[in-house]
């Protein structure tokens, strides 16, 4: 898998780091798909995720192998949905919980979340697995098929930009919105701290946008109405164990 290509980041040669990352991601693909090494290499090299990994200035190469592999599998799933329907109206979503959630519901909690009260899922399997064991040694990865309806009011955020930040600030301060579904980035621990600093007036909006520029947030999609929840079909739940325990 080694080649003569040199990868640079801020003027520093990071070729070994990138090659090791690529090999580790291929190993993850092999483990999840039971494909041979060469088969895994072939499908990964043919992906947009691999192409994104080549552009080292975006910092994507520094993410964890599981994060990059999740991006790859999310890309593959979306491609299959487009091929099946001729559009991008169907996808697989995950919800991590301490229990099996065969019938999702909207619960009003003590604290509001990024997109207000709702039922939250993600396209990233690994992310949902982590959610499921936050407070216990055993959790459940709930898997759903999501089929979008044309009569839904949906808000999409593609990045952690100014509009995304304003929306989160409004929701976390108790504000509500008119959307059935909201989809967009979910702040990791680092970006979450930046958001908190912004809400506490410790940094300006421009400071936040600059700090978050090279971070790669995870994904969340939230369902806020009964009509939105009707688009989710429960497939199954898989038990998840905390391997650190």
CATH classification of the domain holding 209: 3.90.175
- Beta-bridge partners for 143: 94, 236
**pLDDT confidence tier of residue 82, bands split at 50, 70 and 90:** low
| Structural domains of the chain, count | 2
Cα–Cα distance between 146 and 152 in angstroms, integer?
13
Together in a domain, 105 and 215? yes
**pLDDT confidence tier of residue 63, bands split at 50, 70 and 90:** confident
Together in a domain, 48 and 94? no
Together in a domain, 94 and 133? yes
Neighbour-count burial of 215, counting CB atoms closer than 10 A to its CB (0-12 exposed, 13-18 middle, 19+ buried): middle
CA torsion sign, 193 to 127 to 144 to 72? positive
Secondary structure (3-state) at 55: coil
Together in a domain, 141 and 245? yes
Per-residue pLDDT tens over the stretch 189-220: 677 788 888 888 899 988 888 877 666 667 89
Together in a domain, 44 and 128? no
Together in a domain, 139 and 59? no
Site of tokens 């990138």? 18
Res 36 pLDDT > 80: yes
Site of tokens 């509500």? 176
Domain boundary, last residue among 66, 87, 108: 87
Cα–Cα distance between 185 and 169 in angstroms, integer?
14
pTM reported for the whole predicted model: 0.66
Res 243 pLDDT > 80: no
Give one DSSP letter per residue of 180-219, joined into a string: SEEEEEE--HHHHHHHHHHHTTSS-HHHHHHHTTT---EE
Distances (CA, A) of 244 to 131, 132, 226: 14, 14, 37
pLDDT average, residue stretch 132-152: 91
> What's the Rg (C-alpha) of the chain?
19
Domain boundary, last residue among 59, 87, 115: 87
* pLDDT of the residue at 139: 95
Which residue range is the domain that position 94 belongs to? 89-245
Together in a domain, 180 and 100? yes
Domain boundary, last residue among 87, 110, 139: 87
* pLDDT of the residue at 146: 92
Together in a domain, 41 and 105? no
Res 47 pLDDT > 80: yes
Closest CA to 52 of 38, 68, 65, 40: 68
Together in a domain, 165 and 233? yes
Together in a domain, 70 and 100? no
Together in a domain, 138 and 163? yes
* pLDDT of the residue at 88: 45
* pLDDT of the residue at 198: 87
Together in a domain, 15 and 127? no
Cα–Cα distance between 42 and 26 in angstroms, integer?
10
Cα–Cα distance between 154 and 149 in angstroms, integer?
10
């Amino acid at each position: 898998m080694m080649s003569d290509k040199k990868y640079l980041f801020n003027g520093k040669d990071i070729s070994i780091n990138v090659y090791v990352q690529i090999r580790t991601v291929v190993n993850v693909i092999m483990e999840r798909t039971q494909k041979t090494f060469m088969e895994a290499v072939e499908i990964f090299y043919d992906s947009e995720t691999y192409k994104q990994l080549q552009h080292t200035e975006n910092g994507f190469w520094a993410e964890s192998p599981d994060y990059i592999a999740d991006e790859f599998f999310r890309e593959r799933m979306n491609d299959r949905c487009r091929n099946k329907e001729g559009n991008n109206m169907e996808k697989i979503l995950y919800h991590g919980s301490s229990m099996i959630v065969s019938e999702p519901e909207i619960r009003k909690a003590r604290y509001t979340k990024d997109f207000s009260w709702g039922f939250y899922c993600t396209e990233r399997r690994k992310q949902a697995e982590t959610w499921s064991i936050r407070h216990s040694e055993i959790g459940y990865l709930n898997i759903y098929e999501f089929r979008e309806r044309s009569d839904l009011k949906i808000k999409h955020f593609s990045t952690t930009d100014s509009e995304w930040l304003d929306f989160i600030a409004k929701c976390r301060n108790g504000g509500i919105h008119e959307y059935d579904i909201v989809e967009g980035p979910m702040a990791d621990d680092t970006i979450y701290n930046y958001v908190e600093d912004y809400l506490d007036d410790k940094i300006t909006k421009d400071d936040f946008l600059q700090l978050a520029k090279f971070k790669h947030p995870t994904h969340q999609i939230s369902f806020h109405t009964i009509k939105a929840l009707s688009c989710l079909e429960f497939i199954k739940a898989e038990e998840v164990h905390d391997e650190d325990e």
